[in-house]
Amino acid sequence: MEKAIKRYFPIFALPTFAAFSIGFILPFILGVYLSFCEFTTVTDATFVGLKNYIRIWGDETFIHALWYTSLFTVVSVLTINILAFAVAMLLTKGIKGTNIFRTVFFMPNLIGGIILGYIWQLILNGILLNFDRTLTYSSAYGFWGLIILMNWQQIGYMMIIYIAGIQNIPGELIEAAKIDGANNRQLLRHVTLPMVMPSITICSFLTLTNSFKLYDQNLALTAGEPSNKSEMLALNIYNTFYGRTGWEGVGQAKAVIFFLAVALIAIVQLRLTRSKEVQA
Amino acid sequence: MKKKLLSAVLSATMVASMLAGCGSSEPAQTTTEEKQATTTEAKTEVKEDAPAAEVKADTTEAAATGKVYYLNFKPEQAQAWEALAAKYTEETGVEVAVQTAASGTYESTLKSEIAKTDAPTLFQVNGPIGLATWSDYCYDLSGSDVYAELKSDDFALKEGDAVKGIAYVVETYGIIYNADILNTYFGKDYSVVKSVEEINSFEQLKAVADSIQANADDLGVKGAFTSAGMDSSSDWRFKTHLANLPIYYEYQADGIGATDAIKGTYLDNYKAIWDLYITDATCAPTVLSSKTGEDATAEFALGEAVFYQNGTWAYGDLSANGMADESLGMLPIYIGAEGEENQGLCTGSENYWCVNKNAAEEDIQATLDFMKWVVTSEAGCTSLSNEMGFVCPFKAFDNYPASNPLINIANDYVANGKKPVAWTFTTMPSEEWKNGVGSALLEYAQGTGEWDAVQTAFVDGWATEYTAANN
C-alpha cells in the first residue's frame, strides 16, 4: 500500500502543485521580472534593468512609509502580545464566565479588515469631532487609531494561542515551584514564560508579519491621508502601481524589496525566539 | 489493477474539475451576454429543420460581426448604459458588454482589463494627459463615422493628424446656489445685493457669502458654502476644478494653451477663493479631511448651505435628494481676475472615447458601428440626452435637448454673451501633481501647513511632474 502511494505520489500531488504554480510561483516570477521593466499593462513590458530600483529612493513617500510601518510594527507587536498574554493569564485562572469572555475577545477577529476599518473610522471620528479634529487631521491620529484597531482585532486571536500554551504547562511543574517557595512573579518569570515560548514564537511571528503587511485596515481607516503621511508600505506599493502613470515598474520593484524585507525580518525573529524555547 | 485504474480515473477527474473551475471565472459583465445566448438559442431552434450547412454558415457570420466591450467611466450612468447596450443587442444581434469601474478606480480597472484576452474595445481617457498613457492603444478614428458626426474639431483629441479620442459629453461646472434661500436673503435688510445678477465679481460674491455667514441663524443655514471636503470623493472639486481658474487666467494672459512650467500668476486669487470656501462654510476647517462629496450634497439639498461648487453631473444626486428644479441656479466661480464680469461657467470635457487598436478587426468594426448607432439613432440619442442627462457634441443632438436644468442654465450664460471658461485642467501634468496641491490645500486649511506649501506644490510640482511625465 505504501509503495502504491509512493508510486502515485506525482499524480496525487499534481492538482495541488498545479494550483500552487498557477496561483503562486508563476505570478511571483512574473512579478520579479516586471520589477526590471517599464510597462503600462503587464503584457507589454520592456526591460530597463535596475532603473526602477534606483527610482525608488527618489520617492520620499516610500521612505516615509518604511519608517512609519516599522514604528507601527514595533508598537503593535509589543502591545498586542503583552495585552494578549495578560488576558490569557486572566482567563486561565478559572474565573466565572471564562468561556464567554474568551468567545467575546475572539470575536473581533472574525470581522473583515475593511469593515473593521470603517467601523473604527466612525467611532474615532465621532469622538474626535468633539474636539474639531478628524482621524486624517495628522498622521499621529491615524497611527494611534490603527494601533487601537489592530489591538482590538488581534488580541483575541493571540489570546487563544497563549491560553493553549499556558494550559499545556504541566501542573506538577508549577506545584514544584510553589513548594520550592517561588512567588507569583518568580513563577511567571522562570516557569510560565519559558514554557509558553513556542506560543510567543508563533504570536510574535504572526503579529510581526501582519503588521508589516497591513493593508485593508490602513486603506479603510485613513487611506494614507493626510498627504500620504499615514500610508503604510503595502498601501504605498498599491498606490505607486495603480496611482502613478509610468511608475508601475517602480511599484513592482518596491514590492520585491518589501518581500525581501518581510522575509528577512521574519526569519531573524523566528531564529531569535526559537533559541529561547525550552523542553519541560 | 482495478483499484489502480479507479484511482487514476479519480485523480484525472480531480484535475479536470480543478481546471474547469479555473476556466469558468469570467468576469460578471452584464446580462446582455446571457440575453444574447438565449436569442441565438431561439434562432437555432427555429432553424432546426433547415439544412445543417446553413446553420453553420449562420454561426460563422455571427462570429465575424464581432462584439463590443465598453469600459464605462461614469458610475452614475451605469444602468442607463447597460439598458442601451441591451437595446442595441436586441436590434442588431451584436453582443455589447458594459462594465463600469467604481468611482476613482477607472485607471486601475482599465490597466488590468486591457491586459486581458477579452480587453475592452471601447474605453475612455480624460484628455491629453490621459492620452499620453494610452496613446499606443488608441485606434485612429479620423476616418470613422462617429468622428464625422462631431460638431467641431474642438471635441476631438488629436495627435498630429490622427484622431485618438472623441469627446462624447460636454459638462459645465460653477457655483450651484439654492435660489429659495438666496431670495429670502435678498429680502432681508442686511443683504448687500438685491438680485443674483448683481453677484458678478469676487468682491460681490465674498460680500454676499460673508453676510450670509454672519446671519446664518436668521436664514436657517449652517453656512454660506457647503463643506469643502478633502476626502477623495470630493477633493477633486478643489485640487482640479477650482485650480482650473488660476491656470485658465494664466494661459489667457500668456496667450497659451498648455505649458511645461506654470508661473502661478493667479495663485493669490486661488488663495482668496479657497479662504472664502473654508471660512464661510458649514463646518470648521479642521474637520475637512474627512468630509465627503455626499456630505456636501446632503448639506446643500437639506438647505444647510447656499452655495455648492459642482457641475451639471450633480443634478441627479440633487434631485434624488429632493431639490426642486426651480430652486437650482448656477454662478460662475469668480476669483477676482480682471474682466470677470463677463466670465461664464466652466465648460469642457474630460470624457473621451477611445477604441482599442489591439482588438480584433471585427471587434473594432463592431465598436465603431455601435458608437455611430449611439450618437445617431433615436434610441441612443434619447438615452444619452434624457436618461443620462448629457450634452453631446454630435450633430444629431440638436433635436434632443437635455432635460437637466443645470445644462439649460449653462446654455443661458452662453446665450447672454458670457465667455465660458475652458477646462484647462486636462493639461495638468499628472495625478500626482493634483494630489500634491490637494494635500497642501488641506494642510493650509487645517492650519497644519502654510500657503507657501500650496505655492510650491503648484509651481515647482508642475515642473517636476512635467519632466517626470515627459522624460
Could you identify the residue written with the cell 494611534? A144
Phi-psi region of B422 (alpha: psi -120 to 50; beta: other; left: phi over 0): beta
Alpha carbons B269 and B244: distance in angstroms, whole number: 12
Q: Are the Cβ atoms of A138 and B448 closer than 8 angstroms?
A: yes
Nearest CA in chain A to B470: A246
**Residue-wise pLDDT tens for chain A (280 aa)?**
677 778 888 888 899 999 999 999 999 999 999 999 988 877 778 888 888 899 888 888 899 999 999 999 999 999 999 999 999 999 988 888 888 988 888 988 888 889 999 999 999 999 998 888 888 888 899 999 999 999 999 999 999 999 999 998 888 988 999 899 888 889 888 888 988 998 999 999 999 999 999 999 999 998 887 778 889 999 999 988 887 878 889 999 999 999 999 999 989 988 888 888 776 5
**Which among A66, A91, A132, A158 is positioned nearest to B448, based on CA atoms?**
A132
Cβ of A18 under 8 Å from any chain B Cβ?
A: yes
Report all structural domains of chain B as residue ranges with CATH numbers, in order of start: 66-170+350-393 (3.40.190.10), 173-346+412-469 (3.40.190.10)
**Which among B114, B5, B128 is positioned nearest to B357, based on CA atoms?**
B114
Q: Using an 8 Å Cβ cutoff, are B235 and B303 in contact?
A: no
CA distance B187 to chain A (A): 34
Q: Are the Cβ atoms of B136 and A40 closer than 8 angstroms?
A: yes
Which residues on chain B are in Cβ contact (under 8 Å) with A19? 18
Q: What is the pLDDT of residue B11?
A: 60
- pTM, entire model: 0.78
Cβ of A194 under 8 Å from any chain B Cβ?
A: no
Cβ of A111 under 8 Å from any chain B Cβ?
A: no
Could you identify the residue written with the cell 487611506? A223
Q: Grid coordinates standing for B37? A: 445566448
Q: What is the pLDDT of residue B59?
A: 40
Which residues on chain A are in Cβ contact (under 8 Å) with B440? 227
Which residues on chain B are in Cβ contact (under 8 Å) with A17? none
Q: How many residues does chain A have?
A: 280
Q: Are the Cβ atoms of A41 and B115 closer than 8 angstroms?
A: yes
The overall longest dimension of chain A from CA atoms, in Å, is 73
Cβ of A246 under 8 Å from any chain B Cβ?
A: yes
Q: Grid coordinates standing for A91? A: 482567563
Q: Using an 8 Å Cβ cutoff, are B317 and B90 in contact?
A: no
Which residues on chain B are in Cβ contact (under 8 Å) with A225? 230-231, 289
**CATH fold of A59-274:** MetI-like fold (1.10.3720)
Q: Using an 8 Å Cβ cutoff, are B344 and B172 in contact?
A: no
Q: What is the pLDDT of residue B402?
A: 79
User: Where do the structural domains in chain A lie, given as residue ranges?
Assistant: 2-34, 59-274
Q: Which residues of chain B have pLDDT under 70?
A: 1-64, 471
Q: Are the Cβ atoms of B432 and A15 closer than 8 angstroms?
A: no
Coil, strand, or helix at residue B29?
Answer: coil
Alpha carbons B281 and A133: distance in angstroms, whole number: 16
Alpha carbons B125 and B188: distance in angstroms, whole number: 48
Burial grade of A135 (CB within 10 A; 0-12, 13-18, 19 or more)? buried
Q: Using an 8 Å Cβ cutoff, are B95 and B89 in contact?
A: yes
At B186-220, the pLDDT tens digits run 999 898 998 888 898 999 999 999 999 999 999 99
Dihedral of CA B77/B78/B84/B87: which sign?
Answer: negative
